[in-house]
Amino acid sequence: MYYCLTIIVKGIIMLDLAFKNKHLIVVLSLLIAVISVIVTARLPVDILPSYNTPAVQVLTLYPGMPAEVMEKDITSRLERWTGQSNGIVKQESKSMIGVSIVKDFFSENTDPNTALSQVTSLAMSDLYYLPPGTVPPMVMPYDPTASTPLALLAVSSESMSEKELYDVAYFQLRNLLGSVDGIIAPAVYGGKLRRIFMYVYPQKLQAYNLSQSDVLNALQKNNVMIPTGDVNIGNINYSVNANGMLPKVDDFNDMVIKIGSNGAPIFLKDIGYAKDSSAIQTNVVHINGKRQVYIPIYKRTGANTIASVNAVKDKLSDLKERLPASINLDVILDQSSYVRNSIDGLIKEGAIGLILVSAALLLFLGNIRSTFIVALSIPLSVMFAFIGLYFTGDTINSITLGGIALVIGLLVDDSIVVLENIDKHLKLGKTSAQAAYDGAKEVALPVLVTTLTIIIVFFPILFLTGISKFLFAPLAITVSLAMIGSRFFSMTLVPIMAAAFFKGFDEKKKPKGFLGAFEKGFEALTHGYVQTMDGVLKMRWLILGMVLALFLLSLFGFQKIGRELFPQMDVGQISMDVRMESGTRLESTEKTITSIENFIKKEIGDDVNLIVSNMGVLNDWPAAYTSNSGTQDSTISVQLKEHHATKTVEYVKRLRVKLKEEFPGVGFIFNTGGIITSALNFGLPSPIDIQIIGNDLHKAHEIAVRVREIVQNIRGTEDVRIHQRYDHPEIKVDIDRTKAAMLGINADEVVKNTVSALNSSVNFKPSFWIDEKNGNHYYVGVTYPEIELDDPKSVENITMMGTNGKITQLKNIATTSLTSAPIEINHLDLQRVTDVYANVEGRDIGSVATEVEQELQELRKEIPDGYKVEIKGEIQSMKESFSNLGLGLVLAVFLVYLVIVPLLRSFTLPLIIIAVIPLGLIGVVAMLLATDTYLNIQSMMGIIMMVGITVAYSNLLVDKMNNLYNEGKNLHEAIKEGVANRFRPIIMTATVAILAMVPMALGYETGGEANVPLARAIIGGVAAATVLSLFIVPILFFLFHKKSNSQGN
């Protein structure tokens, strides 16, 4: 790697070639600028890098089937079949009433299309073995980092009913949105599903000696669509069209159900009536308190967030033209606004950093020409990086842009060293051209080492896995490309421009005014520093001892720093999961949610921009895209105004307390992380997920209750709850098969008649009717009027007919009882799992997790065999990421050492250079503690970057002292002249590097929280290492050569 990189770099920037082909270098620079402008406009823009996690989800429906039956008969089978796919690494599943969702996760190197193809084939091959009536599995790609929709497309109308709104969204908008590039819109929430019901009265059925099966058979035979083909009659070919399907809903009333014993036909209208109705509503949506319908917009893998949402907005006018005039379409909860503002914020921070760097350069260099030459290398290096991003397939995001903003100060390091050395040669009386050539050539090696040390620390990132690689591989590529660009321009364009701009320039002319005063002051500082060297070398052991004490103190302080996976973000949005008593009807849920919405408006006041509530769940595609498991569950999204007066987290603290007081018995779970937290947590609702793995649901629940009690008593935990509930009210029907058989009724008839009466025959034998007005098809079913079922005991009055032609009631052949059943059953790798979730407030997640782990150790000793308690979620990701980045830090130090060894031709001198790393850690710890910044993957990455930066500065100093010593200077002279020569460029480069990061370290812009720990870690490390290394490195150099000399003697 090192030798290849060296050959490439040297092949590009040969100084001789540059001076012989000056026009070519200028043309290449202009070409880079032009190409960059073109490709940057084509780069996708997103909040985070693309995460290649091939995953596939399989959704299977069987309306009305209990969760436990769905699990055993459908979910488990599909898990085993699709689990045979090559490359699968993890499998999750969820079984709810009528819904099975299986998610297959594949290794990173698996082709997503191959994964999808495998799972589709295996799922379809299992269809034969699934229970009759199962809806064929629907297989789609799944992106765990995109579980939060980019936006919602709200559909409303002042004149349309909820049924009509749902129809427009489901039959028209969904299909029209399919043509929009970069998005998927698979589900519709809110509204009512239109159904044609044939309501029959049980008393009238009994009076006419009929059963529901008779009505259903009549429906199946009298409302049909059968292709009739064509026929040749004479010389003409006729197509045949029979009116098998009823044209109007009212026509169902005249349907003949059976011929009575008296020979007279019995019509539907004699025993009930047909109605254009709707299915039992299990899902309602509120947008600012009004019932509406919305379609969530999700991003396709690799798509551009901003471009995708813009494409939907651009499509709105075209969509409206194809829809009824009264339809209103609005894009709400637009996540791309936050992405756009975050990117703009990073650009602003980078621009401010560039201004600060330019001001510092002017201050140090003392003239506009030198400042312009050095500053010009910054945009050119950035442009070079953008070209590289385009060809590597990366995106412009908060991580890559953050990397650019962070290295703005580093991009001038090479140019500063080159220009400073050119200035020294000018003072020797050389011509500008000769001074530029000699000055650049003299520092070519240390500049190369500087660039390589910063690049090489990123090399281990390429071997990381999981979130660390997902976030930092693009950062590593961006910074490395920018540094290669910096190296190229510092060795070509900078010396060429210096040779041109410095012609006729009086280099001996001293700056005046403020710049002159600063120059005098800096010269005095340099002189004072050099004069301290004698004393420093005399007190070397005392100084080393003091620094060692500081380092040991910093190790102690390191343990006091809070830990988290990623910085907490204020996206201006509050998401709440609201849970009521199991089995709560949707009407009651809606009433409570309306009160909660009004309460939130009152508490937050003018800062509220929008409130969207999603109550219940439709047991269809929407079940795959919501955390709701039934009519008792709701999600509320509160969008704050862009410039809200109070921080989002403060509103959450207030609401968490007051909502519990105002609505006792209702559970509230809060989330403020938005699209970023959702991506990093892979869609998990909370950072702490304690999983109880075991197959007996009730025993697992008992353990989960104990876990919940433990976690609730730990300081800093909030919203602690058991996710799965096994107490959904259930009416259990136990069939006495002997009694049923004696009456000529089999179990199949009992179940079908019961289901038909309670929910409708659509659940087991769907029939459909086509509305001639719009061409849409709707299910037709037989059922009882809901008014007849006002008490659970009403179930016992359901009638059915035996083969003997006699009508009997359910209570004569079965008993009913009230019991409870699971609402949702989850699997992890085929095993049942129960989750205890917890949020954290007022403490860092790391310390809370440590305490949770300690408390669970005792519990693990008491749980029965066959059960495990494990901490998953963000905690697991954090441990894995810290372990990966810790290994990356060690490898970075080792690789830096290996790079320096052949360049200095010594195994010992590089140890002096990398000795600055512990000095940097002192500053990192001090900065993080002083600013109350947590240790997370961003600050860990900052430490790794700090290694490359500080080693680069140390190398400048050691290289100069070593060269002077090898030229014959005595040890003291070599050290003093070396520090005098390198003091200015080291202070300059460190200062501009720190100033470039100051705007990011403050994090005032939208989304700036993400890169604050990264910038602060680098600033603290670079500042401490720079100051301390100016004393420690000369001491170590002195000790090394003194020992070498004594050994030689």
- Secondary structure, 3-state, 302-347: CCCHHHHHHHHHHHHHHHHHCCCCCCEEEEECCHHHHHHHHHHHHH
Strands, E assignment, 763-891? 767-770, 777-783, 799-801, 807-809, 814-821, 824-828, 831-840, 868-873
Q: Are 116 and 38 in contact (CB under 8 A)?
A: no
Tokens 């009160």 sit at which residue? Answer: 595
754 or 600, greater pLDDT: 600
* Domain end among 608, 628, 660: 660
- Tell the burial category of 700 from Cβ atoms under 10 Å away from its Cβ (0-12, 13-18, 19+): buried
Q: What one-character-per-residue DSSP string does 711-731 give?
A: HHTSTTEEEEEES----EEEE
Residue 932 in this model has a pLDDT that exceeds 90: yes
Q: Are residues 271 and 382 in the same domain?
A: no
Q: Are residues 996 and 887 in the same domain?
A: yes
- What's the number of CA atoms in the CB half-sphere (13 Å) around residue 713? 9
Please tell me what DSSP assigns to residue 728. Answer: E
Residue 1007: closest CA among 633, 627, 673: 673
Give the residue-averaged pLDDT of 452-461. 84
Q: Are 160 and 327 in contact (CB under 8 A)?
A: yes
Return d(Cα 356, Cα 1001) in angstroms, integer: 14
Q: Are 254 and 179 in contact (CB under 8 A)?
A: no
Segment holding 1025, helix H or strand E = helix 1012-1048
80 or 419, greater pLDDT: 80
Cβ-based neighbour number of residue 698 at 10 Å: 7
Q: Are residues 36 and 67 in the same domain?
A: no
Return d(Cα 12, Cα 384) in angstroms, integer: 14
Tokens 């029209």 sit at which residue? Answer: 176
Q: What pLDDT is attached to residue 8?
A: 40
Give the residue-averaged pLDDT of 348-376. 85
Return d(Cα 577, Cα 614) in angstroms, integer: 10
Question: Using one digit for the tens of pLDDT, what is the confidence trace for 763-794?
Answer: 888 888 999 888 899 999 999 887 656 788 88
Residue 185 lies in a domain: no
938 or 423, greater pLDDT: 938
Q: Are 131 and 98 in contact (CB under 8 A)?
A: no
Residue 94 in this model has a pLDDT that exceeds 90: yes
Tokens found for residue 368: 């506009």
Q: Are residues 1026 and 906 in the same domain?
A: yes
Q: Are 887 and 460 in contact (CB under 8 A)?
A: yes
Separation of first and last alpha carbons in the chain = 40
Residue 379 lies in a domain: yes
Return d(Cα 84, Cα 102) in angstroms, integer: 13
Collapsing DSSP to helix, strand or coil, 272 comes out as: strand
Instruction: Give the domain range for residue 649.
Output: 572-660
- What's the number of CA atoms in the CB half-sphere (13 Å) around residue 521? 10
Cβ-based neighbour number of residue 158 at 10 Å: 6
Residue 814 lies in a domain: yes
The per-type count for the chain, helices as H runs and strands as E runs, is 35, 30
Q: What one-character-per-residue DSSP string does 440-505 give?
A: HHHTHHHHHHHHHHHHHTTGGGGG--HHHHHHHHHHHHHHHHHHHHHHHHHHTHHHHHHHHHTTT-
Q: Are residues 588 and 453 in the same domain?
A: no
- Provide CB contacts within 8 A for 883, sequence distance 6+: none
Residue 99 φ/ψ, nearest 5 degrees: -135, 135
Return d(Cα 48, Cα 479) in angstroms, integer: 16
Question: Using one digit for the tens of pLDDT, what is the confidence trace for 877-931?
Answer: 888 888 888 888 898 889 888 888 887 788 888 899 999 999 999 999 999 999 9
- Looking at residue 339, its amino acid is V
Q: How far is CA 505 from the centre of its chain?
A: 55
Residue 734 lies in a domain: yes
Q: Are 798 and 753 in contact (CB under 8 A)?
A: yes
- CA angle, residues 75, 76, 82, in degrees to nearest 5: 85
Give the residue-averaged pLDDT of 736-745. 90
* Domain end among 142, 160, 182: 142
Question: Using one digit for the tens of pLDDT, what is the confidence trace for 812-839?
Answer: 999 999 999 999 999 999 999 999 999 9
Residue 13 lies in a domain: yes
Question: Using one digit for the tens of pLDDT, what is the confidence trace for 174-216?
Answer: 888 888 888 888 889 999 999 999 999 988 988 898 888 899 9
Q: What is the per-residue burial (b if ≥16 Cβ within 10 Å, else e) of 173-196?
A: bbeebeebebbbbbbbbbbbbbbb
CATH code for position 750 = 3.30.2090.10
- What's the number of CA atoms in the CB half-sphere (13 Å) around residue 716? 15
Q: Are 330 and 181 in contact (CB under 8 A)?
A: no
Q: Are residues 479 and 516 in the same domain?
A: yes
Name which of 6-15, 514-523, 659-668 the model is least confident about: 6-15
CATH code for position 80 = 3.30.70.1430
pLDDT band at 460 (very low <50, low <70, confident <90, very high): confident
211 or 462, greater pLDDT: 211
Q: Are residues 915 and 781 in the same domain?
A: no
pLDDT band at 509 (very low <50, low <70, confident <90, very high): low
How many angstroms separate the most distant Cα atoms in the chain? Answer: 131
CATH code for position 483 = 1.20.1640.10
Residue 9 lies in a domain: yes
Return d(Cα 908, Cα 920) in angstroms, integer: 20
* Domain end among 611, 635, 660: 660
Collapsing DSSP to helix, strand or coil, 778 comes out as: strand
**Alpha-carbon separation of residue 282 from 103, 541, 582, 619, 831 (angstroms):** 24, 77, 14, 8, 29
**What is the dihedral angle through the alpha carbons of 530, 535, 537, 538, rounded to the nearest 10 degrees?**
160
pLDDT band at 364 (very low <50, low <70, confident <90, very high): confident
Q: Are residues 901 and 1040 in the same domain?
A: yes
Q: Are residues 226 and 270 in the same domain?
A: yes
Tokens found for residue 902: 């052949």
Give the residue-averaged pLDDT of 671-688. 76
63 or 1012, greater pLDDT: 1012
Q: Are residues 27 and 100 in the same domain?
A: no
Residue 600 in this model has a pLDDT that exceeds 90: yes
**Alpha-carbon separation of residue 342 from 145, 397, 440 (angstroms):** 18, 9, 39
Tokens found for residue 473: 């591989």
Question: Using one digit for the tens of pLDDT, what is the confidence trace for 300-311?
Answer: 877 788 888 989
pLDDT band at 470 (very low <50, low <70, confident <90, very high): confident
Residue 865 φ/ψ, nearest 5 degrees: -60, 150
Q: What pLDDT is attached to residue 848?
A: 93
Residue 638: closest CA among 661, 670, 665, 664: 670
Residue 153 lies in a domain: no
Number of folded domains in the chain?
A: 4
Q: Are residues 542 and 591 in the same domain?
A: no
Tokens 């080291």 sit at which residue? Answer: 986
Return d(Cα 574, Cα 719) in angstroms, integer: 14
224 or 256, greater pLDDT: 256
Return d(Cα 379, Cα 32) in angstroms, integer: 10
Q: What pLDDT is attached to residue 758?
A: 84
15 or 42, greater pLDDT: 42
* pTM greater than 0.85 (yes/no): yes
**Alpha-carbon separation of residue 880 from 464, 466, 685, 909 (angstroms):** 10, 8, 20, 34
Q: Are 470 and 49 in contact (CB under 8 A)?
A: yes
Q: Are 579 and 720 in contact (CB under 8 A)?
A: no
Residue 913 lies in a domain: yes
Q: How far is CA 106 from the centre of its chain?
A: 18
- Mean pLDDT computed over every residue of the chain: 87
- Tell the burial category of 872 from Cβ atoms under 10 Å away from its Cβ (0-12, 13-18, 19+): middle
Q: Are 211 and 750 in contact (CB under 8 A)?
A: no
Return d(Cα 31, Cα 34) in angstroms, integer: 5
Question: Using one digit for the tens of pLDDT, what is the confidence trace for 681-701?
Answer: 777 888 899 999 999 999 999
Residue 666 in this model has a pLDDT that exceeds 60: yes
Q: What is the per-residue burial (b if ≥16 Cβ within 10 Å, else e) of 512-543?
A: eeebeeebeebeeebeebbeebeebbeebeeb
Q: Are residues 744 and 887 in the same domain?
A: no
Return d(Cα 1049, Cα 1047) in angstroms, integer: 5
